[in-house]
Structure 1
Amino acid sequence: MKNKYIKIFCVAIVSTLALTSCDKGFEEMNTNPNALTKPAVKSMFTLAEIYVDGQDFSNTRGNNAYAAQIVQHFSSLGGPGSKYTYSPEYSGSLFGESYGKGLNQIMQLLSVLENTPENSNMIQACRIMKVLMFQKLTDTYGEIPYFEAGKGYNGNIFSPKYDTQEAIYNDLLKELDEAGTALDANKPFVGNADLYYQSDVARWKKLANSLMLRVAMRLSKVNPAKAREFVEKAAAKGVFTSNNDSVVLKHDAGPPGVKTNPITSSWVRNDLNGGEANIKYSKTFIDALKNTNDPRLRIYAKLEATGDNSPASQQGLANDAKEFPGGDKKLFSDPNTSTVLRLDAPTLILSYAEVEFILAEAAVKGWSVGGTAQKHYEDGVKAAMEILTIFGDKVPAVSTTEYNAYIAAFPFKSAGTEAQKIEQIIGQKWIVLLFNGFEAFSEYRRTGYPALVPVNDVNGETQGTIPRRLVYDQSELITNADNYKAAIQRQGLDVMTTRIWWDK
């Protein structure tokens, strides 16, 4: 990431031109070839939505190779996340890409939008998208540039200070509360340029409140009173109530670029290799589903070399493995290219199932969110199974009969301890967060669930303990050294074992 802060706002949005199908009025973008005087704000908004969940660079490196392997969704013989080794390029990928692309795009758009009633809904949606991105960033690294980020263009701040995570979280909650309230169905939006909800303001309001639920619950140990306050507020304001509310971003199969799936496209084109891939499902993940006869396994996994998706044939790779047992990579489970690893597979950014699991945990804690913990848990499991229909019909969907059998065999532990109930809830959330390794990593650190067995590899950086964060983009040592040093002086060494503020 070179000169990321200087670049923010300092160039016209040439990247928007790559989005060929969103707005045909690109000729209106410039009336002067050297000055952006009439930006195509709808196209800018669409591109911001695409960038929110990252592109190939951060998803291949930070998500697939680090976070998703740390939480043992996936495994690789030499993967930095499996063995807790340090790769500067991979570890810093989310940091560099987020400031250089996603946040750049959102803040560029906010800088050209006049604060008028006509633009109000677009502004509120941008505030919500900023929270999605900033929460992922701060949860991954800890302290980050926040209040001064993106002020190179209109504030001449090219070396922004890092802010404490407590201050960032306080502002994230404020932003969601205000933005959700300010959204107004009687005001214009962006029509079909909104890829998430096609300008359905009611669902955007639910997104603001559901994201508030996620942000607030992250504070459950470091500030339980504030966590409860905002969880209850979010629930009262109205959160997701069905899978139709989930944030699902659709993709194209090709050509490779901004509109393809940032996780599956690089995996299928470069890494899958007919079943010879180095990244496989983790033994932890496959065993968890096999041992419970989970009907989702046939949808999630198959042996790519043979096309066999029968649950009995699935086999995961242990995260501490130094070789493939038996020497044949093709005998180990790959993500299913007929469903979740399709080139045009949609991205599930925030799901109704996740919301139900947060409400279930809140109910276990005795917080006022409406409904019982058991009902929220069961609705969450059902939603997590039903949402898989977004990946197509080449594999049979989970039937109501299968769901009922699963819940009957593994009912909610109503008579268990609070810890046992939360462990059961987070175990289900861990499954639904497949391909969202960053969020699963955060939830593992917050709760300690699922109970993962650490890897103690000779080349690891953590002496056999599961990492607590990723290391910053090391270009910060050159471009923002003083503020970087101040951050690590407050937070602790820039290593994988340093705990961030809410990780208690």
Structure 2
Amino acid sequence: MKNKFIKIFCIAIVGAITLTSCDKGFEDMNTNPNALTDPAVKSMFTLAEIYVDGQDFSNTRGNNIYAAQIVQQFSSLSGAGSKYTYSSEYSGALFGESYGKGLNQIFQLLSVVKDTPENSNMIQACRIMKVFMFQKLTDTYGDVPYFEAAKGYNGNVFAPKYDTQEAIYNDLLKELDEAGDALDASKAFVGNADLYYQSDIPQWKKLANSLMLRVAMRLSKVNPAKAKQYVEKAFAKGVFASNDDSLVLQHDAGPQGVKTNPITSSWVRNDLFGGEANTKFSKTFIDQLKNNNDPRLRIYAKLEATGDNNPANQQGLANDAKEFPGGDKKLFSDPNTSTVLRLDAPTLIMSYAEVEFILAEAAVKGWNVGASAQKHYEDGVKAAMQVLTIFGDKVPAVSLAEYNTYMTAHPFKATGTEAQKIEQIITQKWIVLLFNGFEAFSEYRRTGYPVLVPVNDPLGETKGTIPRRLIYDQSELITNAVNYKEAISRQGLDLMTTRIWWDKQ
């Protein structure tokens, strides 16, 4: 894999030169009291890239505790996601952090960058990153402030209206289409301040088109014609073609802060306790890999107390568990601290494997994506296994022989029904989306796969129904009450069971 994982740098400088707002709330987000006369825009761009996939606050609470437990990648005895209970702090974490940090950083940067040819590529890249964050937001909550979200910088709008998810999705597709086309390799970019692709414009174009695939496929139920149109368009323009194209962000082991992995650093420092943690791999996840002799299991999981990553000894915790069977937490599988849970483990923001699984589903539907569903599926599984080399060499990588053995035992169901094929594809996507719980949660709601057994806990909010969304940041009831109330009157009550626009039965 080509070396595009340079170390995150200039963080102290970024902290000094960027605006100080990191709080949630639109007035704080949109106020620009320190109007910079000579902003260090490259450093601002670097920080925006770091913020795209969120920081510790939203990843620990919204991703690990809610989304990844709802889709049964992880489980916890008292986890809000495992039992469908409500925590205002955890549920609203993504909302508050996205507007207060990630989107704030991009809007702030765009407010000081002059719209000139030499800045064009930076502007287009910001548009692409903005799509990443807004799609996650709208998929998690439904209607959210979108078109007015940045108008505090140039319009004094501190209580922005919520836009319909349909309108947001239409604009996300437009933004990716336009931004990808406008990227120009003959123009300046930001050099090594680009942590993603070191200013490689063709790679950024592939990123825009691959993200367009993700956005478009989300419409497969609510607007299949538009989904087909944009999936085919993205494929024709050129999407990820190998693991070298995957979007990976490298991290440092410390000191803790924006330089460290937002998932692993808090987990390792605070939650593992030498194998005594309450949060473990879910029985659903471990059984899926263990029962199918999946060679990835030794890379993903181990018993932290003993360092044992033998697949035969791994066991997951049921999501409805009230206690650890046998009473010994150390006998249940943790994420592997030698690989995926290293303090400096990279973040796999979007993978080539995910792209292949989207194309496989499109081929099942008969859309024009260049190859058969079987070919895309097999390439996706191989990529999902091979991409794990980004987590280092302390555990043997999946060999080609192991991949071939796995595919022989679990061939693509080429003669199966459409539902059987899509279930097989999405189950594989669910595996590669480990640590990207928000995306796995969205794909589960869109497709119903993998098949999960709901948890009906007495303390749960849903009476045994798997959640369909998270509840808004409740600070909105104070800072943006009129627009919040208008949104729920249109979308439905602010409950975990309310379906969002694209989530059709």
Q: TM-score, normalised by structure 1?
A: 0.95
* In structure 2, distance between residues paired with 1:278 and 1:448: 27
Alignment match, 2:339: 339
In 2: Cα distance, 1:274 partner to 1:378 partner? 37
Determine the C-alpha separation between the residues in 2 that align with 1:408 and 1:67: 32
**Partner residue in 1 for 2:19:** none
Check if 1:5 corresponds to 2:26: yes
Per-residue CA deviations over 1:127-183 (Å, capped at 9, x if unaligned) read: 000000000000000000000002112110000000000000000000000000000
Aligned counterparts of 2:214 and 2:104: Cα–Cα separation in 1: 24
Cα distance in 2 for partners of 1:36, 1:374 equals: 54
Which residue pairs with 2:93 in the alignment?
93
Tell me the residue number matched to 1:287.
Answer: 287
SS in 1 for 2:132: helix
In structure 1, distance between residues paired with 2:235 and 2:268:
39
AA in 1 matched with 2:243: N
**In structure 2, what is the Cα distance between the partners aligned to 1:493 and 1:120?**
41
1:367 has 2:367 as partner: yes
Shift of 1:367: 0.3
Report the equivalent of 1:31.
none
Alignment partners' CA distance in 2, 1:62 and 1:463: 21
Q: Post-superposition shift, 1:11?
A: 4.0
The alpha carbon displacement at 1:457 in A equals: 0.2
1:35 is displaced (CA, Å) by: 4.6
Within the alignment, does 1:257 sit opposite 2:278 as a pair?
Answer: no
Answer whether contact 2:260 2:343 (CA < 8 A) is retained: yes
d(CA) in 2 for partners of 1:461, 1:488: 18
Q: Tell me how far apart the structure 1 counterparts of residues 444 and 411 of structure 2 sit (CA, whole Å).
A: 22
Corresponding residue for 1:28?
Answer: none
Correspondence for 2:141: 141
Amino acid at match of 1:454: P
C-alpha separation in 2, matches of 1:273 and 1:122:
43
Residues 264-310 of structure 1 show CA distances to partners (whole Å, capped at 9, x for unaligned) of 00000000110001100000000000010000000000000000000
Q: Is the 8 A contact 1:7 1:152 kept in 2?
A: no
- Tell me the distance in 2 between the aligned counterparts of 1:82 and 1:289: 20
Please say if residues 2 and 475 of structure 1, whose CA atoms lie closer than 8 Å, have aligned partners that are also in contact.
Answer: no
**Equivalences for residues 324-335 of structure 1 within 5 A:** 324-335=324-335
* 1:30 matched residue in structure 2: none
Measure the CA separation in 1 of the matches of 2:452 and 2:355: 23
Residue 3 of structure 1 deviates from its aligned partner by: 6.0
* Contact 1:3/1:479 (8 A) holds in 2: no
Unaligned runs of 5+ in 1: 13-33
Correspondence for 2:3: none
Q: Paired residue for 1:222?
A: 222
1:458 aligns with 2:458: yes
Q: How far apart are residue 66 of structure 1 and its match?
A: 0.1
Name the Cα RMSD after superposition: 0.9
The one-letter amino acid paired with 1:96 is G
**1:390 is the counterpart of 2:411:** no
Work out the CA distance in 1 between the residues paired with 2:23 and 2:285: 37
Give SS of 2:126's match: helix
> What one-letter code is carried by the residue in structure 1 that aligns with 2:206?
K
Map 1:73-472 to 2 at 5 A.
73-472=73-472
Assess if the C-alpha contact under 8 Å between 2:24 and 2:96 holds in 1: no
Q: Percent identity?
A: 84
1:4 alignment partner AA: G
> Any idea what SS the aligned residue of 1:248 has?
strand
Gaps of 5+ in 2: 1-21
1:183 counterpart letter in structure 2 = L
Contact 1:8/1:108 (<8 A) preserved: no
Q: CA deviation at 1:247?
A: 0.4
- Aligned partner of 2:52 in structure 1 is 52
